[in-house]
Amino acid sequence: MSQPEIRNMEEFAAISGISRPTVSKYFHDPSSVRKSTRMRIEAALEKYDYRPNIYAMNQNRKLTKNIGIVVPYLADPFFGEIVRMIEGRCIEAGFTPSLFSSHGDQAHENDILDSLRSMKPAGVLLAPLGRQSDKSAIETFCKHVPTVLFDSNIEGMGEAFVGSDNHSFVSQTVEYLSRTGQSPCFFEMRTPANPNANKRRIAYLSMMERLGLEPHVIKIDGTGWGFEEIGRQGGLKVLSEKSLPTNTVLCSNDRLAIGFLAACYESGVRVGRAPGCELRVASHDDHPFSRFTCPSLTTAAHDYNAVSDHSVETLFRLIESGGRFENRAESLFPARLIMRESA
């Protein structure tokens, strides 16, 4: 709040009695200037509320302080949560996060990568669409921008991957379910959008074999990112056909399970581990809504904090290393079994 409008750093430097390059240094890193100087600048800052032009700043900087965050589908609260944590870490570290959602669409994902390149970000945290991704577009992007993939892995792309250990997820649910009742059949989409789904199926099959149990994979139709409705339709079909081989269903992910549970309710099938229930249902992810399903969903939980923390830390290391790692590291975090009422 003041009389004279400060137009640029030149004027601000003049008024605060300090040279422009020093002021420039201050905005780069306040701790890089002498304490007395810092206080003079900050005093002037309160009187004249000046802020440097970010476009002029980034124009010449080799590495900007921007970090791109790309998720495949923001209407999924799972990603909403992840994004919140990641954003917070970036801001703490003095970076400016920019958020993008591919909204389940390949063309959109490519457009995002395009505009992201022109932003010259210090680094990018990318959760790709997966099967729908344009691999070559992502590969090209990663050559130009320091990128850490998270949530959904694409072999060889990005300098690192941080995600969840699908085997840990499935082994815990399968072990628990088969120990406490009939062995689970595996409920998934026929053409899953996400590579995690494939890994979970494989983990299910290997786990069942190890336990000497007969595996049953139920593949349901449907495309797109409306997993709940796909799960519901698939559930209605399976239940009406009475084709379930066992009384225990393990869904590939919570969103499918949410739809499946809706189908059970509509069909009058009682779900849970309580006496009188016909079916047990469990799943993977610990989706933010999974504790509010009816019954509440037994599931294997992501370590949200670990995944987001480690993603960000990996990206920071990558940035400090100049954008390249020796080897592409893959960090996988185990699941934690959350026992609720559904199984």
Partner interacting with residue 22 (select from a second copy, DNA, none; CB below 5-8 Å by kind) = DNA
Partner interacting with residue 119 (select from a second copy, DNA, none; CB below 5-8 Å by kind) = a second copy
The string over 51-82, giving b where at least 16 C-beta atoms fall within 10 Å of a residue's C-beta and e elsewhere, is eeeeeeebeeeeebbbbbbbbbbeebebbeeb
Partner interacting with residue 286 (select from DNA, a second copy, none; CB below 5-8 Å by kind) = none
Interaction residues for DNA, span 21-60 (CB under 7 A): 21-22, 24-25, 27-28, 32-34, 36-38, 52-53, 56-57, 59-60
Q: Tally the C-alpha atoms within 13 A of residue 336's C-alpha that lie toward its C-beta.
A: 9
CB atoms within 10 A of CB 15: 15
Partner interacting with residue 68 (select from a second copy, DNA, none; CB below 5-8 Å by kind) = none
Q: Are 95 and 122 in contact (CB under 8 A)?
A: yes
Residue 206 touches DNA, criterion: CB under 7 A:
no
- CA-wise closest residue to 71 among 292, 203, 184, 225: 225
CA distance 309 to 282: 27
Kindly tell me the sign of the dihedral angle through the C-alpha atoms of 139, 193, 197, 289: positive
Q: What are phi and psi of 123, to 5 degrees?
A: -170, 165
| Burial classification of residue 39, based on how many CB atoms lie within 10 Å of its CB (0-12 exposed, 13-18 middle, 19 or more buried) | exposed
Residue 19 touches DNA, criterion: CB under 7 A:
yes
Size of the site for DNA (CB under 7 A): 28
The least CB distance from residue 107 to DNA, in Å, is: 24
Contacting a second copy (CB under 8 A), which of 14, 39, 43, 294? 294
Contacting DNA (CB under 7 A), which of 18, 125, 258, 282? 18
Residue 91 touches a second copy, criterion: CB under 8 A:
yes
Interaction residues for a second copy, span 223-252 (CB under 8 A): 228-229, 232
Q: Amino acid identity of 267?
A: S
The least CB distance from residue 207 to a second copy, in Å, is: 28
CA distance 117 to 122: 10
Nearer to a second copy, 75 or 339 (CB): 75
Contacting DNA (CB under 7 A), which of 2, 8, 223, 305? 8
Residue 117 touches DNA, criterion: CB under 7 A:
no
Residues that bind DNA (CB under 7 A): 7-10, 17-22, 24-25, 27-28, 32-34, 36-38, 52-53, 56-57, 59-62
